[in-house]
Each structure stands twice: as C-alpha cells, then as structure tokens.
C-alpha cells in the first residue's frame, strides 16, 4: 500500500526536490506576471459587469456615468500600484502588508491585516473559479446548472498543479494569461476601429430598456443617485484585488528581487487599467444592457423578458458583437476569459501559503504550515486554502453576484493599514536621515503612500457603507474569528515556550546506566530531561541525534550545544529532502547492521498536554517516528514525557473519586 501511495503521489506532484534547489524555483518577470498578477488582470472580466449591473438599478439614465466610475477606479488602481512599488523596495522579505503593519503599527494591526488577507485569498479562489465557470456557461449550455460541481472540480485541479511547485504552475499558466491579455486588448482595438468606421453592430441586449428599481422612477438625481454611484464605485474596485500579491511574493522573484517585483507591478497596473477602460468604452458604444435581475428589469417593448432569457456576461456580449462575422475569435475570447478567471485563483494559491508560512513562523498558525513539501511549495497551506474555497463555493452555489458582496472589504482593510504603516516607516527614517538626496527620495515615497492612504481609506469607508448589509459583514465576522483564533494559537505557543526554557545550565543529571540515542530538535527542558534519563541508564554509547532540514537552525543548535558544554556528543544528519523519519531510521539501521546482537534504544522527548486541540499542535513528528521505529527489530523506543501546565487539568480529572451507584440520590457533601 505504501509503495502504491508513493507512486500515486509522485505521479501527481512529481519527484521530491532537494532543499539546495530552492534557487531554481525563482521566477523571472515573464513568469512572475502570470503567477502573481493573474488575479488583478482577470478582475477586469467581472469588474465591468459589476459597474453596469449596479448602475442598472437606476435605469438607462445612470449608464452615462459608467466611464466616470471607471476612471475613478483607474485612479485608485494606479495610486495603489505606485504605493506598493514603495512597499516592495522597503520590505522585500515577502511579508507584504502583514510585515509593514506588524513592524510599524504593532502586532495587533499586523494580525488584523493577516486575517483580512487570509479571508480575501479564500474569496479570491471562490470568486475567480465561480466567475470562470459562469463565463463558460455563456458559451456552453451544458455547463449551466452544474456550476458548483464544476467549480469544485477545478479547485481540486488547481490544487494538484500548485502542489507541483510555484515555477511549474507559473509556466503552465503563462500561455492562458498572455492569451487573455491579447484577446481583450485585441477585441477592444478591433471594436473601437469598427466603431470609428461605423461598422460596429450593437450587442444583443441593445434593444432592451431597463426598468428602474424603487426610488429611481422619477430619474437619477439626489442622495439616492450619489449613494448608488458610491456603491457602483465600490463594486468596480473589485478590479484592485490581487494587487498586493506581488508584495507578498517578492522572495519568489529572481534577483534583483525588489526591482523585478516593482517592474512587474507597473506592468500589471498598466495592462489592467487599459483593459478595464477598453471594456467599459466598448459597452457604451455598443449600447450594452446588463441588469442585476434581467428577468424583471430588462424590458422588450415594455414587457419583462421573463425566465426564458439568459443574460450573457459583458465580455461575451461584446465579443459576439465585435466578432459577429468571425465566430472562432469569439470562442477564443470566451475560452481565454474563462481560463484566466479560473487561473486567477492561482494568485491566492501562491499568496495564502506564503503568508500562512510567515504567520506559522511567528507562532500565529500551526507550525505545519511553515514546512515545505516535496516540491518546495508550502503544501499544507495549499490544501487548506483549497478546502475553505470549496466550502464557500458549495455554500453560495458558485454565484458570483452573492460572493462578490463578501469580496474586497478585506483587501482594502489591508491596503489602508499598509499605507498607514508605510507613512510611519518613512517618517521614522526621515528623523535620522541626513543625506539630502536620500531624504528627497524618502519624502517622495511618503507623499505617494500618503495619497495612497487617502484613496484606499476613502474606498474602505465606501465599501463598508454600501456593502455591509449585502454580505460584507460575513467577511468581517470571518476576519474577527481568524484574529481571535490566531491570538489564541500565539498565546499557546508563547506559554509552551516559556515552560520549556531551561532553568539553568546544569540540568543534565548525574549519569546512571543504559544505552541510548536521544532525538533532539532544540535545547529545552524536554531535551535535557531525555538526556538526563538516557545517561542515568548508563549506556554503552550515548549520542544526541538531530536531523538538519535548515542549515541555519542546525548551526545555531550546534553553537548552543557547545556553549552549554553538554556532556553528550551531538550528531547532525543532513536531510536535503527535508525528511525527518527516514534519515533517523537509516542511522538506526546502520548501528544494527554493525552490531546485530546489540539493542538500540531511542529516547524521544514528548509534550504531555491536557486538551485535544493542543495535541494537534504538538508531537506530530514524534508519532510518525514511533510508528516506524516500533517495526524495527532490536530497536527499543522510549518516550520521555514532559508535562505542560495544561496537563494538570487532566490529572485533576483523573484524581476525582469514581462514580458509584446511588451518588445522584445522596445529598451534596456526603
């Protein structure tokens, strides 16, 4: 079974890569663009839909504001791109908004940003895949009615591709991403050329009128119009989702990392705003009609079109009109649009695991998320993201209109807090900087981030006001839950670390007798207790054994071992594939082969905890190792327990007197 499982694993994700090949997975700009910018680029496929759809509430009179709303979105996007170019130069380590807020505003704000981004990444996958399936339904009738099932299947496929590694997924997704750019820009240029020559037909919905909803029967004016424009603007700002992904992924770029990331940001912003305005202008000149509830809002000769009418997406209607005599170009445009919307989720598959790894490193998430898989990707984070995204898709039946209401609030929370952090960052540096040229550069950067703060803060307020009751509150509740959860995990890890600190340098007890290998991950009280117990057994040979998966951690362990003068030799086994169990098994087998009549005793330090959920956060490697060692002949396994304070709770429960028949009838205190 094990060999069959290994074969299937290798078939799906490929052969394991050595740790020293991490540099080979770094991305050039031409691959980084489709990897990190596919979300922001693909959002132009549904952001125009949201603009026209929201304006339709007030009828056709409101459509004259579509290009103005589009320009406002363009201003915000270019501002955010310029601001994040400052971020990637100042913070190239990959923490992105989380690192900026954490360092300049404090851990609470950093954790708020992290919670917002994690929720937004999950929504990115759900919205992008659902939107892609809906676009496919515009051209393929058999897809309709099965959107949720197909979307879940596509998330599983994306998960499998990303488990093969960042560079492999980027190479696979580059062609569809560039194909989408060419398709949309080509459609826009060809359509505007046909319009200039008077040869461009109207879209299929041009003959309809739109029935205004309650409150707009007398026209588009007053406070109601202002509020609707703000709501339209907030919906159009969905085009900004994914801009922050590049700042989170700077470590994945080839050197010079910051410069390449900043260039990719500029390319992404320029291409995205060009496509967004192109689609909006094409919609205006082809007399597009796009309603939230087409069956009742769209009127043909004054009569609602009814349930029999299926409203095509904006891009579908435009492509059908622009390429009315060239159906192959229409199908190619729809195909690239559907694929890019699905692949936009890949931005989240790169951002979520990296952010999860950083949070795990800082103790806010389970440490398993900080571990790289066989292909040097953060596999646990990839799988976790996929599970949550599939739950959302099923819960909302893959309906983009419902999911979009939860969207972007998280991204603008992170945008705003990040810009506040960057303003404070530059202000702090300016206090000590004396070089005039450097001060001038810093002041320009602060001005850019200050303007970015003004824009993103304004959009955040608009989004909260216009979308809160329409679903944004669900995203806020999820962020609050994640925030509390991560704080709880952090407190647990901090409490455990304090408990495990060695009290002094001479905790290794006087020797007794036995034979042993003591497994070591770090120097703390459980390790010292295991060493003391092993020495007390007076072994023939006593070795402390550790497996090196990170050279820096191993060097630090060796230095602390020597500094403490521990009277046991430390053996370090190199593990280029980051495996723990196999190198230890091989080491034990070599000892057994050298002296088959000897017994090898392996001492494993373990934590004893009192709550079931704490067990999930500890001892996972020890359990796997014990399971393998128990089947080795001539090998004894000894667990050396170290009781954490939470285990006292379980001990108190065990010391309660047993229940006997009649207790419920006895008075209290007897």
Concatenating the DSSP letter of every residue in 585-598 gives HHHHHHHHHH-TTS
* pLDDT at position 318: 93
Banded pLDDT at 370 (limits 50, 70, 90): confident
**Which of 3-17, 50-64, 413-427, 524-538 is least confident?**
3-17
| Nearest Cα to Cα of residue 257 among 428, 39, 23 | 23
Report how far residue 66's alpha carbon sits from residue 54's, in angstroms, rounded to the nearest whole number: 10
- Given a cut of 60, whether residue 513 has pLDDT beyond it is no
* pLDDT at position 1: 42
* pLDDT at position 15: 58
* pLDDT at position 22: 47
- Given a cut of 70, whether residue 650 has pLDDT beyond it is no
- Given a cut of 80, whether residue 217 has pLDDT beyond it is no
- Given a cut of 80, whether residue 605 has pLDDT beyond it is yes
Residue range 282-296, pLDDT digits in tens:
999 999 998 878 888
CATH of region 516-653 = 3.40.50
Most confident of 119-128, 434-443, 476-485, 543-552: 476-485
DSSP 3-state assignment of 206? coil
Tokens encoding 397: 């039946």
Report how far residue 449's alpha carbon sits from residue 537's, in angstroms, rounded to the nearest whole number: 64
Banded pLDDT at 662 (limits 50, 70, 90): very low
Residue range 56-67, pLDDT digits in tens:
888 888 888 889
**Are 171 and 341 spatial neighbours (Cβ–Cβ below 8 Å)?**
no
Q: Could you tell me which residue, 457 or 138, shows the higher pLDDT? A: 457
For residue 643, list its beta bridge partners: 608
Report how far residue 349's alpha carbon sits from residue 115's, in angstroms, rounded to the nearest whole number: 16
pLDDT mean over 305-328:
87
* pLDDT at position 484: 95
- Given a cut of 70, whether residue 4 has pLDDT beyond it is no
* pLDDT at position 34: 79
Banded pLDDT at 167 (limits 50, 70, 90): low
Please work out, in degrees rounded to the nearest 5, the angle formed at the alpha carbon of residue 279 by the alpha carbons of 453 and 198.
140
Q: Could you tell me which residue, 468 or 506, shows the higher pLDDT? A: 468
Answer whether 21-491 and 516-653 agree in fold: no
* pLDDT at position 7: 53
φ, ψ for residue 516, nearest 5 deg? -160, 155
Most confident of 1-5, 24-28, 143-147, 205-209: 205-209
What are the CA-CA distances from residue 51 to residues 64, 189, 217, 473 (Å)?
A: 12, 21, 20, 21
* pLDDT at position 2: 45
Mean pLDDT (the chain) is 81
Report how far residue 97's alpha carbon sits from residue 419's, in angstroms, rounded to the nearest whole number: 9
**Which of 76-90, 347-361, 397-411 is least confident?**
397-411
Please work out, in degrees rounded to the nearest 5, the angle formed at the alpha carbon of residue 628 by the alpha carbons of 631 and 646.
120
| Nearest Cα to Cα of residue 336 among 173, 574, 501, 116 | 173
Tokens encoding 52: 């026209």
pLDDT mean over 574-582:
84
| Percent of the chain scoring above 70 in pLDDT | 86
Q: What is the DSSP letter of 65?
A: G
**pTM strictly above 0.75:** no
φ, ψ for residue 287, nearest 5 deg? 60, 45
- Given a cut of 90, whether residue 189 has pLDDT beyond it is yes
Residue holding tokens 């034979």? Answer: 515
Tokens encoding 97: 């908004």
* pLDDT at position 335: 87
Q: Could you tell me which residue, 180 or 613, shows the higher pLDDT? A: 180
Report how far residue 511's alpha carbon sits from residue 514's, in angstroms, rounded to the nearest whole number: 10
Q: Could you tell me which residue, 222 or 113, shows the higher pLDDT? A: 113
pLDDT mean over 394-411:
78
Most confident of 135-139, 239-243, 428-432, 655-659: 428-432
Tokens encoding 181: 């750019």
* 619 contacts: CB under 8 Å, gap ≥ 6: 606, 607
- Residue ranges per structural domain of the chain: 21-491, 516-653
- Given a cut of 50, whether residue 511 has pLDDT beyond it is no
Q: Please tell me the CATH superfamily of domain 21-491, with its number.
A: Amino acid/polyamine transporter I (1.20.1740.10)
pLDDT mean over 287-311:
84
Residue 93 has a CB neighbour count (10 Å cut-off) of: 10
**Which of 175-189, 393-407, 529-543, 544-558 is least confident?**
393-407
Banded pLDDT at 636 (limits 50, 70, 90): confident
Banded pLDDT at 466 (limits 50, 70, 90): confident
pLDDT mean over 620-639:
82
* pLDDT at position 512: 38
**Are 535 and 527 spatial neighbours (Cβ–Cβ below 8 Å)?**
no
Residue range 420-448, pLDDT digits in tens:
999 999 999 998 888 888 899 899 989 98
* pLDDT at position 569: 92
Report how far residue 153's alpha carbon sits from residue 148's, in angstroms, rounded to the nearest whole number: 9
* pLDDT at position 479: 93
For residue 605, list its beta bridge partners: 640
pLDDT mean over 528-537:
90
Residue range 264-277, pLDDT digits in tens:
889 988 998 999 99
Banded pLDDT at 361 (limits 50, 70, 90): confident
């Amino acid at each position: 079974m094990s060999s069959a499982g290994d074969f299937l694993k290798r078939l799906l994700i490929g052969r394991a890569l050595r740790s020293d090949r991490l540099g080979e997975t770094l991305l050039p700009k031409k691959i980084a663009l489709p990897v990190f910018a596919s979300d922001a680029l693909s959002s132009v496929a549904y952001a125009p839909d949201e603009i026209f759809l929201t304006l339709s509430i007030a009828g056709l009179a409101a459509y004259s504001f579509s290009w103005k709303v589009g320009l406002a979105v363009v201003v915000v996007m270019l501002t955010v791109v310029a601001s994040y170019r400052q971020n990637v130069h100042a913070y190239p380590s990959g923490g992105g908004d989380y690192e900026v807020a954490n360092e300049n505003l404090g851990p609470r704000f950093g954790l708020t940003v992290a919670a917002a981004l994690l929720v937004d990444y999950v929504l990115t996958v759900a919205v992008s895949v659902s939107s892609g399936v809906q676009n496919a339904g515009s051209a393929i009738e058999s897809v309709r009615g099965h959107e949720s099932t197909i979307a879940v299947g596509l998330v599983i496929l994306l998960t499998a591709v990303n488990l093969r590694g960042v560079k492999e997924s980027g190479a696979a997704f580059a062609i569809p991403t560039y194909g989408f750019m060419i398709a949309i820009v080509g459609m826009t240029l060809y359509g505007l050329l046909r319009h200039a020559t008077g040869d461009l037909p109207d879209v299929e919905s041009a003959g309809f009128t739109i029935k205004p909803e309650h409150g707009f029967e007398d026209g588009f004016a007053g406070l109601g119009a202002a509020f609707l424009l703000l709501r339209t603007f907030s919906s159009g700002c969905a085009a900004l989702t994914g801009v922050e992904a590049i700042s989170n992924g700077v470590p994945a770029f080839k050197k010079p990392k910051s410069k390449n990331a900043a260039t990719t940001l500029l390319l992404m912003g320029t291409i995205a705003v060009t496509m967004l305005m192109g689609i909006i202008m094409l919609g205006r000149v082809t007399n597009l009609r796009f309603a939230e509830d087409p069956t009742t809002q769209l009127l043909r000769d004054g009569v609602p079109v009814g349930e029999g009418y299926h409203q095509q997406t904006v891009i579908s209607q435009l492509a059908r009109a622009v390429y009315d005599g060239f159906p192959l170009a229409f199908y190619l445009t729809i195909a690239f649009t559907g694929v890019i919307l699905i692949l936009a989720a890949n931005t989240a598959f790169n951002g979520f695991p990296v952010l999860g790894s950083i949070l795990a490193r800082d103790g806010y998430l389970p440490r398993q998320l900080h571990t790289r898989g066989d292909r040097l990707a953060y596999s646990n984070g990839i799988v976790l993201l996929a599970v949550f995204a599939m739950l959302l898709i099923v819960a909302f039946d893959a309906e983009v209109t419902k999911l979009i209401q939860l969207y972007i609030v998280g991204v603008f929370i992170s945008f705003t807090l990040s810009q506040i952090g960057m303003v404070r960052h530059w202000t702090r540096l300016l206090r000590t900087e004396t070089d005039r040229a450097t001060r001038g550069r810093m002041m320009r950067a602060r001005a850019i981030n200050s303007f970015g703060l003004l824009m993103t803060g304004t959009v955040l307020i608009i989004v909260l006001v216009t979308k809160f009751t329409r679903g944004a509150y669900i995203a806020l509740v999820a962020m609050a839950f994640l925030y509390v959860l991560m704080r709880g995990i952090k407190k647990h890890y901090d409490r455990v670390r304090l408990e495990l600190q060695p009290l002094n340098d001479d905790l290794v007890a006087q020797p007794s007798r036995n034979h042993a290998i003591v497994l070591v991950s770090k120097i703390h009280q459980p390790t010292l207790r295991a060493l003391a117990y092993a020495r007390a057994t007076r072994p023939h040979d006593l070795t402390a054994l550790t497996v090196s998966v990170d050279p820096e951690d191993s060097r630090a362990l060796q230095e602390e071992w020597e500094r403490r003068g521990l009277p046991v030799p430390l053996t370090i086994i190199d593990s280029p594939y980051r495996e723990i169990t196999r190198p230890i098994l091989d080491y034990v087998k070599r000892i057994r082969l050298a002296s088959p009549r000897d017994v090898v005793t392996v001492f494993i330090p373990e934590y004893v905890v009192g709550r079931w959920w704490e067990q999930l956060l500890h001892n996972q490697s020890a359990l796997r190792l014990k399971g393998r060692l128990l089947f080795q002949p001539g090998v004894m396994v000894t667990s050396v327990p170290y009781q954490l304070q939470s285990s006292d709770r379980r001990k108190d429960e065990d010391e309660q007197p047993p229940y006997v028949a009649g207790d419920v009838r006895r008075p209290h205190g007897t």
